[in-house]
Structure 1
């Protein structure tokens, strides 16, 4: 158990308390038991013994009691989601508790949210008055209570700064000064901005008067408001005016994965070197995010554009999947499409032929990213001509001539004296080839990909 790095048992209808025995998992980094029926308190032993924890998601359970102060001592813990439980008492205002926003604690009526700075900033008293008003109205008002509830939620979201004005974003970016420009494309530009409270954000401004940009804006808003996962970029606010539409997102100081993966071919002095362990971690994090979209969201969400440019890296080089402008929400995980969705080189064969949009299309795109991470060859490289694909090129040399296809930075990790490196590289290439199978039903699910990558974690412990 000390070798376990991730536990994800979300949406399994689990009952009972959280076992204290889990505290023996000294190497545990990711812990997700959300959307179950767990009861009891949050063990204080987690904060005392699980020093490697980075993410905890216990949302949508029946947990109760006080929030343990011991969690505030976990220096590596970055994300904590305790929303929609029955926790009570004050919220500690130190450590990871102080770093979270109010969404991490919503749905716990007996928590003292107003005692923290962000609780006051987000109108804790207003929230209590809303709940009190509904309680006074009583059951006799049920016929119109739903409408009132919607109005209160809308008011609360506005009060929580979920909506911003163009002039607010103009001030944040110094009138959209070019020196704050992070990147641009056919559908818009992304700026670095600073909000009045000093928070640094990324402001994605859509190109005006373009129906395609408007569609992407609506789709990205709808998708990001439905999801919550530590490896997905988080929406902070939005702005929708007659001639101006923008999204305010978390700022990722290390840019996108493509910049670091292809640092030798891209003029980027700030690009970081990616060792084998870092590449595995990033691939694992991407897989967890996509698996969440496919298996934990209802309806399932197909990203449709998984590629290195759509993967952002935070200050600790942790992956966050972004760019949901062409995402597809589908009830049965498949939908007919008449338009080509995705980026050339990453689009699954069945999508390119106008077939059904399905989760297996994302699996194919992810497989291309896996192969690109190990070979450092883009699927659009001029060497792939006359119908040759990155997947076919790898398969021609796999597994007997790995040095011919593995990136120069990784060559030293393979060979008879390389230890785990050879097995890891070979395993990742095999995973990439499986994910890029021509037939969708031959590809693994993203849940299976996560399980396989998780099992490889022992190589690094």
Structure 2
């Protein structure tokens, strides 16, 4: 390319491999944008040969290594965005010496060490370093840990001591938990007739359901009553006799696989997370029962409200066309789920992060009102505000920052919700065969926006829209297409790579309600 080039933008493509060293040949380059590709490797030192460079945007790639020291020679830099990569090492001191730098984004990388308080780092609104778990110092408003002044030898000694104390504490804690479970919940297992008095923890104190009642209501947990089954356990449909009359009540009973320690843990998490939740769009747990079966085997069951219309996943991917979801119904479900997220994030007392928003965890009642369920991976914000996370959620729905060990956050749920919206309008799973490392559901939709939306619509929605193609109803077709396009736009905004750019729940609800008002004008 000619050395006279002043501006180069290759953003939002699927470019792979390293950034070529020949970028240094663009000696007069002022603005350089390659964000949101699949570029990897080190940032080349030769970029320092672009002495006129003022704006550099490399975010949303997979660059690794440290920030090249040669970058310190580019004294005219005004904006630098290296966020959402795999960069590491110390934040170089030369960044504080740039006289014109007023925007610096290093968030969601793996930088370590002390953050200075000088230059661009003296103005909190001018830089962003969140998502780097091993930084210290800096302005007090950042709430980072103070930097240690210990010598390397002392650090190694203290690290060894920390490891020993952590392992010891973990062992003691594990023994305590096992002892507590055995004595508090399972001490009655030695009795032959435990079914008559199991340990039950009802979410409603007026509810009293014994394990024997659950067994009788499912013919001894017969396979014919199974709604769904997985590694964590099976879910059964059960008819329970009401205590005060002759009416029967349908419930769903999840019997936990006690051989799976993670399933047992998640059942307690789910009960803890939902016991105080009261919202029409959040599934209600009726009771938790811990007991033994007739053979003396330990048992654990959660009783939920029964959702006769199954899950959203059933309707999107498994039901026959005769049980189609129209656009209006999908829009209502989207609003229901946005309301559920707004409630658990902001209005449920201690904020809760669900961590596993997906179609199979959205259940539909008799009136097709959507309820959010399956809180087994949920986290309480205040209790885990300092915890990092391993990969949480379901591949395809989970946000990219969880894959690099960042803390669980409301942004993660918003990302999953955005992918869910795209799935609802396209009818395609984010893990479908057509999606791989080179193409995601989000990319598939983004490439169609805003002029080729019709190419990505679910075929069933397309049939619904095309029937209005008659000359007397063209406005209905246009309006429905516009509504679908706006919903896809909300999905894209919610699933932005950078967490802070994602929509807030209240804004999502307002936007979807506006779409519903537009839709109601033609129905």
Q: Which residue of 2 aligns with 1:229?
A: 279
Alignment of 1:246-257 (within 5 A): 246-257=301-312
1:195 counterpart SS class: strand
Q: Does 1:457 align with 2:516?
A: yes
Q: Which residue of 1 aligns with 2:426?
A: 375
1:343 counterpart SS class: coil
Distance change >3 Å, CA 215–CA 158, structure 1 → 2: closer
What is the aligned counterpart of 2:506 among 444, 447, 453? 447
Task: Report how far residue 285 of structure 1 moved.
Answer: 0.5
Q: Which residue of 2 aligns with 1:345?
A: 396
Counterpart Cα distance in 1 of 2:383 and 2:258: 34
Q: CA RMSD in A?
A: 2.3
Counterpart Cα distance in 2 of 1:309 and 1:158: 24
Task: Report how far residue 207 of structure 1 moved.
Answer: 0.3
Alignment of 1:20-31 (within 5 A): none
Counterpart Cα distance in 2 of 1:367 and 1:334: 24
Distance change >3 Å, CA 174–CA 155, structure 1 → 2: closer
Q: Does 1:258 align with 2:313?
A: yes
Counterpart Cα distance in 2 of 1:174 and 1:334: 44
Counterpart Cα distance in 2 of 1:219 and 1:389: 31
Counterpart Cα distance in 1 of 2:207 and 2:383: 31
Q: Does 1:219 align with 2:269?
A: yes
1:248 counterpart SS class: strand
Q: Does 1:314 align with 2:369?
A: no
Q: Which residue of 2 aligns with 1:52?
A: none
TM-score (norm 1): 0.62
Q: Which residue of 2 aligns with 1:182?
A: 227
Alignment of 1:288-437 (within 5 A): 288-331=339-382, 334-412=385-463, 413=465, 417=475, 418-437=477-496
The size of the alignment, in residue pairs, is 304
Distance change >3 Å, CA 327–CA 185, structure 1 → 2: same
Counterpart Cα distance in 2 of 1:400 and 1:346: 26
2:357 counterpart SS class: coil
Q: Does 1:238 align with 2:288?
A: yes
Choose 1 or 2 for highest CA Rg.
Answer: 2
Counterpart Cα distance in 2 of 1:271 and 1:439: 40
Please give the per-residue CA displacement for 1:43-86, whole angstroms capped at 9, x wherever unaligned: xxxxxxxxxxxxxxxxxxxxxxxxxxxxxxxxxxxxxxxxxxxx
Deviates more, 1:221-230 or 1:159-168: 159-168
Distance change >3 Å, CA 450–CA 241, structure 1 → 2: same
Distance change >3 Å, CA 379–CA 334, structure 1 → 2: farther
Counterpart Cα distance in 2 of 1:354 and 1:313: 33
Counterpart Cα distance in 2 of 1:364 and 1:453: 16
Counterpart Cα distance in 1 of 2:444 and 2:487: 15
1:379 counterpart SS class: coil
Counterpart Cα distance in 1 of 2:235 and 2:431: 24
Q: Which residue of 1 aligns with 2:23?
A: none
Counterpart Cα distance in 1 of 2:495 and 2:459: 23
Contact 2:389 2:402 in 1 (8 A): no
Please give the per-residue CA displacement for 1:258-286, whole angstroms capped at 9, x wherever unaligned: 11111xxx3x4597211111110010001
Q: Which residue of 2 aligns with 1:168?
A: 213
Counterpart Cα distance in 1 of 2:362 and 2:310: 9
Task: Report how far residue 419 of structure 1 moved.
Answer: 3.6
Q: Does 1:199 align with 2:254?
A: no
Contact 2:235 2:254 in 1 (8 A): yes
Task: Report how far residue 453 of structure 1 moved.
Answer: 1.1
**Structure 2 segments unaligned to the other structure (5+ residues):** 1-198, 243-247, 293-297
Distance change >3 Å, CA 445–CA 375, structure 1 → 2: same
Counterpart Cα distance in 1 of 2:398 and 2:204: 41
Counterpart Cα distance in 2 of 1:281 and 1:258: 15
Q: Which residue of 2 aligns with 1:69?
A: none
2:277 counterpart SS class: coil
Contact 1:163 1:239 in 2 (8 A): no
Distance change >3 Å, CA 350–CA 271, structure 1 → 2: farther
Task: Report how far residue 397 of structure 1 moved.
Answer: 1.2
Please give the per-residue CA displacement for 1:136-185, whole angstroms capped at 9, x wherever unaligned: xxxxxxxxxxxxxxxxxx99969945453321210121110111000011
